[in-house]
């Protein structure tokens, strides 16, 4: 089958949410490089990200 194992996907989502929770507690830092966290990381700081469904 195509795609990734469901347990792996859920673990990655859990880890991202956990790290983003801590990131929102800290003030935004200065962006030194043209790209932050790889391919222009787009994750909201002021509002939590949530999948629509």
Confidence at residue 53, expressed as pLDDT on a 0 to 100 scale:
47
* Cα separations in angstroms, 7 against 10, 11, 13, 14: 5, 6, 10, 10
Query: Each residue of 15-31: pLDDT tens digit?
Result: 988 887 777 777 766 66
Average confidence (pLDDT) over 28-37: 63
């Amino acid at each position: 089958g195509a795609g990734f194992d469901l347990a792996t996907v859920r673990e990655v989502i859990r880890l991202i949410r956990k790290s983003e929770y801590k990131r929102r507690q800290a003030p935004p830092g200065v962006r030194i490089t043209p790209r932050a966290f790889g391919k222009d990381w787009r994750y909201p700081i002021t509002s939590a990200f949530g999948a629509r469904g």
